Amino acid sequence: MAETDSKDGEKKSSKKLIVIIAIVILLLGGAAGGYFFFMQKPAGEEHAENADKKAEESKSAEEEKADEHEQDPAANAEVYYQITEPLLVNFPANAGAKIIKISVTVLIKGEANLAVMKKHEPMIRNNLLMAISSIGADKAKTLEGKKELQTMMQSEVGKVMELMTKKNPVQAVYFTDFVMQ
């Protein structure tokens, strides 16, 4: 009978030991969780600080690139851009000409602006076609009319570039083909 009492006593003490260890582990886990919960910044603040740091870094990188472009003569080199297709405008039957066909090349400043010109060529073509229509066939026959049209075209291309890039890199517009019938 003495043996059975000692076995029950060992079972009780080992169960108590396991329960005590489990309680200690839970308390330590809870304390660690509470520490991290109260001592860490909320996720929103951390993301906001990271976003501010990234914005400052990107601004400084952009400023460095702008400085490089100002110092780099190739970035500010003048480049010719040929409008891909000739501009065709039909005039009314009573006008001095029925149709006008003009091929245009634009002189722009900077290689980067060349890509912008290519990207926005549909808008540029639209504005140039409107300028040709507004000048009229009779006026386009004269030298003064052609110069006025050239000035209008430079202005229209400049407006599109300014709208898209916030700067006007257009230096000049040249007629490479000018046909009236």
Residue finishing a domain among 43, 71, 99: 71
Q: How far apart are CA 78 and CA 114, in angstroms?
A: 10
Residue finishing a domain among 12, 44, 71: 71
Residues 94 and 53 in one domain: no
The pLDDT score that the predictor gives to residue 136 is 86
Give how many domains the chain has, as a whole number: 2
Write out the residue range of the structural domain in which residue 97 sits: 78-180
The pLDDT of 119-131, averaged and rounded, is 92
Q: Quick one: pLDDT band at residue 42, thresholds 50, 70, 90?
A: low
Q: How far apart are CA 130 and CA 137, in angstroms?
A: 13
Residues 57 and 22 in one domain: yes
Residues 86 and 169 in one domain: yes
Rg of the chain (C-alpha set): 38
The pLDDT score that the predictor gives to residue 71 is 55
pLDDT digits (tens, 9 = 90+) for 18-27: 999 999 999 9
Its pTM stands at: 0.57
Residues 174 and 89 in one domain: yes
pLDDT digits (tens, 9 = 90+) for 148-161: 999 999 999 999 99
Residues 92 and 152 in one domain: yes
Q: Quick one: pLDDT band at residue 4, thresholds 50, 70, 90?
A: low
Q: How far apart are CA 136 and CA 97, in angstroms?
A: 9
Which range among 64-68, 71-75, 79-83 shows the weakest confidence by mean pLDDT? 64-68
Residue finishing a domain among 30, 53, 71: 71
